[in-house]
Structures are given as C-alpha cells and as structure tokens.
Chains A and B, each alone.
Chain A
Amino acid sequence: MAGHYGSSEHIEYLLRLGDNALVLGQRLAEWCGHGPALEEDVAMANIALDLIGQARLLYAHAGRLEDCGRDEDAIAYLRDPPEYRNATLAELPNSGVASAGAAQGDYAVTTARNLIFASYHCEGWRALATSSDRDLAAIAAKSLKEARYHLRHASDWTIRLGDGTEASHRRMQRALDSLWPYTHELFETDAVETAVAHHGIGIESASLRPSWLAIVRPILTEATLAIPGDTAFRSTGKLGRHSEHLGYLLAEMQSLARAYPGAQW
C-alpha cells in the first residue's frame, strides 16, 4: 500500500508542507525594509522567519527519508518551479493578482493571504501534531504555536482594515475577492494525501475546510467583509503546475546558492 513511512508519497507530502512555508515566507520577507510602519516591517520579518524555520525542519526531514544526499539547502535552492509543491496562493505577488508586477506591495493582499494561511496552518498543524510520523508531529507542535500568533496578527489587521475607513474596507474586500478562488486548492485532496492519511502520517486537507471556515467566517464578519462566493477555478500549485510568479520568486531566492554552489556564511 502506497503512503507508508518513507514512501514517495510521504516525501511528497512533506515537500508540500515545506514549500507552502518557504514560498510564503519568501513573499513576506519582501516586506523587509518596505513595511507600512517600522513595527509592521519587523512583524512581517518575524513571521517570515517562523515560516522559513518550519520549511527547514520539513526539508531536512524529507531529505533524511529520501536518503539520496539532498539536504535542506539542496531542496530549497536546487529545485526548479515545476518541482515545487506549494499551493499557488503562496506564490502570488504581494501587489495582488490584478496588479501583479506593480512595484509596491498591497498590505491588504498580504493581510488577507496571511489570514487565509494562518488559519489553514492552525488547523493543519493541530491535526498533524498527532501524526504517526513522530518527526512531523514534533514539527507540527512547534509550528502550531507560531501559526497561532500569525493568526492573531492577521485577524487583528483584517478587522482593523475591513472595519476601518472606506478606503481600507474597499481594498481589503478587493484583496479577499481576488485571493478567495485560490483557497480551494488548499482543500483539494488527491491520491498523495489519501495515501499518507491511510497510514496516519498526513491528513486529507478536504477535511479541514469546515473548521477553517469556522475560524475565518467570524473574523470576516467582524471586519464587515463579505465572504466571496465559491467558484469552479482550481489552482494547481501543489501538483507542480504553478502561476508565472513562482519562477521570478525562486530566481531571486536561489540566485546566490546557484552562483556560488556550497556557499557558507
């Protein structure tokens, strides 16, 4: 039966978790030096570093299971976009889907995405804390604490901006509307998830959607934001079919490691 400990599905599953964390972390790190206020600048960098730390643990674990000599750096820096398994939502630019390519990030987009991911991670890590993969369970327990803080930060800003001025409300709603179609991918269960779930290693992410909505809905309601309707659109990042944005993100992130193989601090 596929999906047993150390199987290719198990490794694929760990890479999905790690890639979500790394790619989102890299996006948030782009705010460093560009945040709307010094305090928020530091907060984004903190959250980014939490996520990158999670990715490192997951990659190191996946590398050991895979046992073909790849360490966390090789997994992060030497894979091309089609080998990345993050959900497309994580790689979308900070400026938003509609104004992609704009030099400036849109804090409403970052806030909405952080809300979506932090609540998703809270539910996901909580479930994975009892994984039969004890390393994964330990990573989940650590990451859950971090995700709880990320959720607090994101929900606080969602409410402030949503229930703020007319302009902040409008921008928050626009950001939410543009990102919502990408949330469906987070809850798409495929053969990989079913296989690892069968062995108690992972979970079928479709099972998370009701509890995720139960977190997100009251926050959006308090923020006076309308929950967008569901659409048939399905992004496919976790299958390795990404938007055009991931290549640019990886090019920047990987350039040093590829130009100077094995570079050390």
Chain B
Amino acid sequence: MNRTEWPLWEVFIRSRQGLEHKHCGSLHAADAKQAIQMARDVYTRRQEGVSIWVVASNAITASDPDDKEALFDPMADKIYRHPTFYELPEELKHM
C-alpha cells in the first residue's frame, strides 16, 4: 500500500468583516481543489470565513530565523518612523 503523505497547504481565510485573507493554519490534501474543500471543513466550521485561499506550502519562501537580528533589530531605535510625533489639531479628537 502506498503510504506517501499528501502535500501540505497553507490556508488563508477572509472573515465576514475583513478585507484581507489571514493565515489560519495548514492541512494535507492531494491537490488544490481538495485543499479548498478540506479547508472548508477544517477551518470554517464556526462561520469563520466567506472566502478561502490555499497555497502549496513549498511555494512559500520564508526568511531565515537566524537572520532575525540582521533583518529586524536595526529598526528598534528608529521610533521616529511611527507617526506618534505629530501634533494633532484640536478638532481631531478621535485619532
């Protein structure tokens, strides 16, 4: 008997309120069509979504965790990039 595992898929769900698809997990499926079907069964049972994307996990290129310091630490001392230093006009009360 052939015991080969089905390939892995990353699942993205767009919620009723949201505009963007958010990553919510992964699953095994034989192909993209089946992955959509299974994502419906596994990840939308509680009305989480109105749209599903699936992406083959091996199609994703990820940053290397070992590069974390080089990639992200230089931003730590550049707080002026946050828009928190602007003086807001009086009229704008709810920013």
Contacts and interface: CB of A to CB of B under 8 A. Distances in A.
Interface of A: 37-40, 42-43, 46, 152-153, 156, 160, 165, 167
Contacts of B55: none
Interface of B: 1-2, 6, 27-30, 33-34, 37-38, 41-42, 45
Interface of B is mostly: mixed
Given A42-B41, A43-B38, A167-B1, 6 more contacts: A39-B27, A39-B29, A42-B42, A42-B45, A153-B37, A160-B34
B28 A156 contact: no
A152 B30 CA distance: 16
A165 B45 CA distance: 31
B34 to A, nearest CB: 7
Contact of A160 (B30, B42, B45): B30
A35 to B, nearest CB: 11
Contact of A43 (B1, B30, B41): B41
Contacts of B33: 156
B42 A39 contact: yes
A106 to B, nearest CB: 14
A156 B42 contact: no
Contacts of B27: 38-39
A198 B48 CA distance: 43
A46 B45 CA distance: 8
Contact of B2 (A38, A39, A165): A165
Contacts of A46: 41, 45
Contacts of B34: 156, 160
A40 B42 CA distance: 9
A160 B30 CA distance: 10
A194 B1 CA distance: 50
A39 B45 contact: no
B25 to A, nearest CB: 11
A39 B28 contact: yes
A160 B37 CA distance: 14
A35 B37 CA distance: 16
A164 to B, nearest CB: 10
Contacts of A156: 33-34, 37
Given A46-B41, A46-B45, A153-B37, A37 B28 contact: yes
A173 B69 CA distance: 58
A200 B29 CA distance: 44
B30 A39 contact: no
A24 B33 CA distance: 26
B84 to A, nearest CB: 45
